């Protein structure tokens, strides 16, 4: 649940710790990028403007188009606590683009997700739930998944 006083100038310290500890400021920023793309639609995106990681997320989501931002708060390793982009490829089947041993690549996939939000290829729904927009589905369908198999191999299956 998003905390009500997220924008408050003087939140309670315990509320602030909870909000930041859940990744909500970053999720709210992603939601704002999606909202901005609705109210002020960007020009058509050129494929060259998107990273290979962004294109990989698109082709991975071609069927269902659903995404979730996940975090693991209790891991000892800090890289396992990074926010992760998860794509639901089939009902209750998720691929997670985060690996403990490869934090740089994990961040590249997260930044690819940011690109999708900025270009109006994503929609924010509730809390940590996102989906492709109509424009996102169209672009995903125009891509050849086999061109991105190497990047897609980075993902690991996650529990639904």
Q: Is residue 93 part of a domain?
A: yes
| Cα–Cα distance measured from residue 42 to residue 114, given in angstroms and rounded to the nearest whole number | 14
Torsion angles phi and psi, residue 125, rounded to 5: -110, -80
**Domain range for 17:** 13-158
What pLDDT score was predicted for residue 80? 80
Q: What is the DSSP letter of 50?
A: S
Q: Is residue 3 part of a domain?
A: no
Residue 146 backbone class (left: φ over 0; alpha: ψ -120 to 50; beta: rest)? alpha
* Under 8 Å between Cβ of 134 and 45: no
Torsion angles phi and psi, residue 91, rounded to 5: -55, 125
Q: Is residue 1 part of a domain?
A: no
Pairing of strands 93-97, 122-124: unpaired
| Cα–Cα distance measured from residue 63 to residue 141, given in angstroms and rounded to the nearest whole number | 9
Strands (E), the chain: 66-70, 84-90, 93-97, 122-124, 129-132, 156-158
Residue 148 CB: number of other CB atoms within 10 A? 18
Q: What is the pTM of this model?
A: 0.87
Written as tens digits, the pLDDT of the chain (160 aa) is: 455 555 556 656 666 556 565 678 899 999 999 999 999 999 999 999 999 999 999 999 999 999 999 877 666 677 787 899 999 999 999 999 999 999 999 999 999 999 999 999 999 999 999 999 999 999 999 999 999 999 999 999 998 7
How remote is the C-alpha of 1 from its chain's centroid? 18
What pLDDT score was predicted for residue 105? 97
Q: What is the count of structural domains for the chain?
A: 1
Q: Is residue 4 part of a domain?
A: no
């Amino acid at each position: 649940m998003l905390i009500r006083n997220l924008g408050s100038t003087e939140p309670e310290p315990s509320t602030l710790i909870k909000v930041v500890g859940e990744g909500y400021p970053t999720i709210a920023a992603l939601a704002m990028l999606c909202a901005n793309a609705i109210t002020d639609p960007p020009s058509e995106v050129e494929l060259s403007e998107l990273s290979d990681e962004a294109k990989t997320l698109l082709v991975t989501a071609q069927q269902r188009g659903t995404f979730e931002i996940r975090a693991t708060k209790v891991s000892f390793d800090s890289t396992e606590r990074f926010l992760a982009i998860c794509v639901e490829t089939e009902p209750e089947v998720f691929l997670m683009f985060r690996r403990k041993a490869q934090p740089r690549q994990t961040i590249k996939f997260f930044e690819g997700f940011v690109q999708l939000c900025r270009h109006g290829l994503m929609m924010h729904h509730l809390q940590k739930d996102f989906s492709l927009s109509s424009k996102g589905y169209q672009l995903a369908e125009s891509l050849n998944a086999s061109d991105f198999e190497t990047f897609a191999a980075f993902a690991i299956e996650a529990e639904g």
